[in-house]
Amino acid sequence: MRGLPRSIALWAASAVVAALIAVPSGPAFADTLLSQGKTATASSTENAGTGPANAVDGNLSTRWSSAKTDSEWLQVDLGASADISRVVLNWEAAYGRGYKVQASQNGTTWTDLKTITDGRGGTETWDVTGSGRYVRMLGVTRATGYGYSLWEFQVFGAGSGTGAQCGTTNAALNKPSSASSVENAGTPAKNAFDGNNGTRWSSAASDPQWIQVDLGSVQTICKIGLWWEAAYGTAFKLQASDNGSTWSDLKSVTGATGGTQSYDVNGSGRYVRMYGTARATGYGYSLWEFAVYTTSDGPILPGGGDLGPNVHVFDPSMSSAGIQSQLDAVFQQQESAQFGTGRHAFLFKPGSYNVNANIGFYTSIAGLGQSPDDVTINGGVTVDAGWFGGNATQNFWRSTENLSVQPTGGTNRWAVSQAAPFRRMHIKGALNLAPSGYGWASGGYIADSKIDGAVGPYSQQQWYTRDSSVGGWVNGVWNMVFSGVVGAPATAFADQSYTTLNNTPISREKPYLYMSGNEYRVFVPSKRTDARGASWANGATPGSSIPLSQFYIAKPGDTAATINAALSQGLHLLLTPGVYTINQPINVTRANTVVLGLGLATLIPSGGVSAVKVADVDGVKLAGFLIDAGTQKSNVLLEVGPQGSNAGHAANPTTVQDVFVRIGGAFAGNATTSVVINSNDVIIDHTWLWRGDHGEGIGWNVNTAETGLVVNGNDVLITGLFVEHFRKYDVEWYGERGRTIFFQNEKAYDPPNQAAYMNGTTKGWAAYKVGNAVNTHEGWGLGSYVYFNVDPTIEVENAFETPVKPGVKFHSLLTVSLGGNGRINHVINGTGGPAFGTATIPSKLVSYP
């Protein structure tokens, strides 16, 4: 309390009791509480303990209170538009004499539902008619010298189907858990949340004992299920907490008889626990499973369904001519559509096909077998550069995976640059990475593949290959990096361009769509340590399989609210090919969630919001999509873990694979930072973060973007990092024990002059900065280039900037001035260099320090 006189405080307490026992009048028809646990905001708060969320938490001992002025408001976001039938205000002593109840579809334009001029405080119930996503109390006149204060603000809907419904997916499945004790090492808390009725948690033989689960975010809880082993509890409480410290009772149970029990509850929290107070036996408490179910905004969304018109599925019974015709028609549309809106995926069912698939922009081709050898293309999966005069440096945004190719003439051509992953492929011959005529190319990435013949990079400036096998490697230009590759050349960086690690320290292959019989499923490969060679080289790839019925299949036109509702139900997410404009972040809050894009599905955030936010939970997999910055500047486009994340995820890391970010090019996009990694143990496996240097909406003060990647988490590993053209540091790394295997960078092309490109008194900004407080960091095969095409006299003092400490180590560093357009004075920390002159000769350091 604020120090109210005792008489007023007692009146307030009695009002609360009255609110609990009174039955407010309402409409004759049934309606549903829509506001509880939803996002609430306010014009002000009196102090940190009286925030707006307190008014929608279902707890009559917490409250929102405002500043001491008349024009104050409290609003709640219902998550989707709803028909509104009733509003209930449970006032604390500081109530509103005059106020309005209003609704809005957009949070900006408001419609009056009710105007009150003689409010009396206590519990006020108003029948209203209207609709909106946002509902608010707009204060006009206060009744006291204090502000406005509400124990609860409740919004009810008129049974339109948009209210909250109890989900059928166990929100606690595989979530982080803990307990007051365990009987032995074989009965840990996690066993009660693993979905396996053959494993259990059991406690010490004493009272009280508890077991709890972290749902990852505050959610509205509607049901709890308990599957007791023989050692059950006769008395216990089911409780929830937002912070894991302060608990509210959802249900008090006495006289329980064990077995399978289900309890309907009403409350919210991030943490849910069973708090046992009396055992039925001389043993402890023992649960086979502990399930938590949460509400979902709107009707329960279905999983599964068709993949939409931009996914082209072929089977061997189709004619080669018919398949070739579809491939050629899409290629004709996509060959030069660098910034177009077309998105396509070609999927081949197991079998053999006689076709040549030319792959253009925003086109993916993949096999639907469990193994790459389940699908064979007799012909080719081809990328060339005829559309751009034989120059492959702009062959971006396309992919191939999970196929075997018997190439015509013995050699398959894949002449690409950035953002063109080549995964899980078996080339039964040689592979040529250069365009016809051997024009320029600036790629690229291979993983989990087998190339029987030699790989010929020829004109490729750089390339990274991971966990594969090759029949030889023909040459190298500037920076060829290998980790876990059978047949890779030995390290020879001083006089050639090779950096080779015998193994990849940690890897997990990208999830992929496949068919099991007539059913679509998504396979999630297991984590590997010290990996070498393809994951399928000696049999099936280890991992787990998820039926497509557990995925929400999103299609262009779906809103972020719909997608988030599906995720909150416990569904995974499959983004079918297309462009998605979203006005709120896609929030991934559940451990082990898979978000998989097909055909370079593209997210465009509007209104300056982030595109994707991931909670600090285990095992999230983000893969195969593009984020295109919107025209209103976002602070961060992709955030993995909120600021301050500190949980450990070494056993089950989050992975970010083939997730690309673009700022400008299609239009004048803007973002301060492309990607921020706050969680620990994250693996980024192939990304290209690009501030556009060509296309539409390009210019130093047009597509403004300061930083590509910021890493705050510890033990983050990046395999295949491409970051280009940001206005300040391209990469900033502040977490401990970070590792990067392969880095390709070009500094911004377009600073107008040296004065505009100064970091304090230092010329230019380093491409890759390790924070001064970092003690341990390591990198292999890192290159940075300059091409200042507005003012070629601009200089960069150092391409790499790091603390000088025994634990900070780099191997195979290089810098390049492209055609003498700009100069890099030193490779790292005043050591190495310079890179300048029209000969375009790299400046190298074999190791640092």
Backbone CA torsion sign across 292, 298, 300, 306 = negative
158-192 burial, b for 16+ CB within 10 Å, e for fewer?
A: bebebbbbebebbbbbbbbbbbbbbbeeebbbebb
- Of 92, 142, 93, the residue nearest 116 (C-alpha): 142
Non-local (6+) Cβ contacts of 136 within 8 A are 73, 74, 75, 76, 101, 102, 103, 104, 110
- Of 807, 745, 814, 737, the residue nearest 780 (C-alpha): 814
Task: Give residue for tokens 């990849």.
Answer: 504
Q: Show the DSSP H helices in 631-700 as ranges.
A: none
DSSP state of 15: H
Burial class (CB in 10 A: 0-12, 13-18, 19+), 806: exposed
Is residue 360 within 8 Å of residue 381, measured between CB atoms?
Answer: no
DSSP state of 327: H
Is residue 625 within 8 Å of residue 599, measured between CB atoms?
Answer: no
Is residue 293 within 8 Å of residue 223, measured between CB atoms?
Answer: yes
Backbone CA torsion sign across 546, 548, 551, 553 = positive
State how far the Cα of 803 lies from the Cα of 673, in Å rounded to an integer: 23
Q: How far is CA 649 from CA 336, 560, 591, 645, 715, in A?
A: 42, 27, 11, 11, 9
Is residue 784 within 8 Å of residue 767, measured between CB atoms?
Answer: yes
Residue 24 corresponds to which tokens in the numbers above? 């407010």
DSSP state of 755: G
State how far the Cα of 538 lies from the Cα of 32, in Å rounded to an integer: 56
Strand duo 504-508 + 527-531: pairing: antiparallel
Annotated catalytic residue: which of 746, 795, 797, 801? 746
Strand duo 356-358 + 843-848: pairing: unpaired
Non-local (6+) Cβ contacts of 554 within 8 A are 562, 563, 566, 573, 574, 575, 576, 580, 601
Q: Which residues pair with 673 in a beta bridge?
A: 636, 707
DSSP state of 760: T
State how far the Cα of 31 lies from the Cα of 577, in Å rounded to an integer: 39
Total Cβ atoms within 10 A of residue 235: 17
For the question of residue 746 being annotated catalytic, the response is: yes
Is residue 481 within 8 Å of residue 800, measured between CB atoms?
Answer: no
- Kind and range of the H or E run holding 460: none
E strand segments, 713-757: 717-724, 731-733, 738-746
Q: How far is CA 201 from CA 68, 139, 175, in A?
A: 51, 51, 14
Judge if the upstream peptide bond of residue 24 is cis by omega within 30 degrees of 0. Answer: no
State how far the Cα of 612 lies from the Cα of 605, in Å rounded to an integer: 9
Burial class (CB in 10 A: 0-12, 13-18, 19+), 588: buried
Identify the three-state secondary structure at position 244. Answer: coil
User: In the 3-class helix/strand/coil scheme, how is 786-821 assigned residue by residue?
Assistant: ECCCCCCCCEEEEEEECCCCCCEEEEEEEEEEHHHC
Annotated active-site positions, please? 746
